[in-house]
Amino acid sequence: MGRQVKICGINNGESFDAAVAARADYLGFVFYPPSPRYVTPAQAQNLSARHAGGPLRVGLFVTPQITDIAAVLSAVKLDVLQIYADPGAVASVRATFGLPVWRQLGVAAATDFPDDDEMVEGYVVEAKPPAGASRPGGNATLADWALLAGWRATKFWLLAGGLRPDNVAAALRQTNAPGADVSSGVESAPGEKSVELIGSFTRAVKLIAS
């Protein structure tokens, strides 16, 4: 299998259709109101209904309550839950809903790498948020690719943070990540996806030899 692509922060029909057309592997809905990419459960359902198949749907949640996730799942089917929370809370989400769970992992040093036996299906790996950041992730900050090149991950993971069509191939080759997660790197303005950039980013990843 080749490298995989997740287009995160899908919030309108044009960007949804572009992710489908580009044959992205995953598309992400952000259920975090402070984000410019936030969608309500009803909006996510309406978008997801545009195409019955295509990319797997990922729901992004920040330190959610179980009831928050349940409310979303009552409106829209999700294939993966992507969670910003500590490992204990993530394990509780996994046990409650029985869906694959990815934990958002901020890495600045080797001590930030997770335990091999952590109860998750995967990770979305990025740099730790810079000082003064208003969000716990998604700050378009490049991770330390050299550090990640030395990580022997035992679970699936996606590299995130500051990736664009012009740097993603180099990032994946250096880190040997199985795939890439992008949001602002395919936008013309915060929360406004570019159809052209979605296509070029996905092509850049898919052209990398396995």
**pLDDT for residue 210:** 57
Beta bridge partners, 28, equal 58
Helix (H, G, I), strand (E, B) or coil at 90: helix
CB 81 within 8 A of CB 59: yes
Token reading at 157 = 């993971």
**pLDDT for residue 112:** 96
Token reading at 30 = 């952000």
What whole-number distance in Å separates Cα of residue 79 and Cα of residue 169? 26
The structure's pTM equals: 0.94
**pLDDT for residue 137:** 55
pLDDT at 130 over 90: no
Long-range CB pairs of 84-90 (<8 Å, 24+ gap) are 84/60, 84/136, 84/137, 85/61, 87/114, 87/115, 87/118, 87/119, 87/120, 89/63, 90/119, 90/120
**pLDDT for residue 60:** 98
**pLDDT for residue 131:** 59
Which amino acid does the sequence have at 181? Answer: D
Domains of the chain: 4-206 (3.20.20.70)
Name the residue among 90, 92, 23 with its Cα closest to residue 51: 23
pLDDT at 206 over 70: yes
Q: What's the average model confidence in pLDDT over 97-106?
A: 97
Over the chain, what is the mean pLDDT? 94
User: Where are the alpha helices (H) located in the chain, listed in sequence order?
Assistant: 13-21, 41-48, 66-73, 87-97, 145-149, 168-175, 195-206
Distances (CA, A) of 134 to 114, 144, 167: 24, 21, 25
Each residue's pLDDT tens digit, 39-65 = 999 999 999 999 999 999 999 999 999
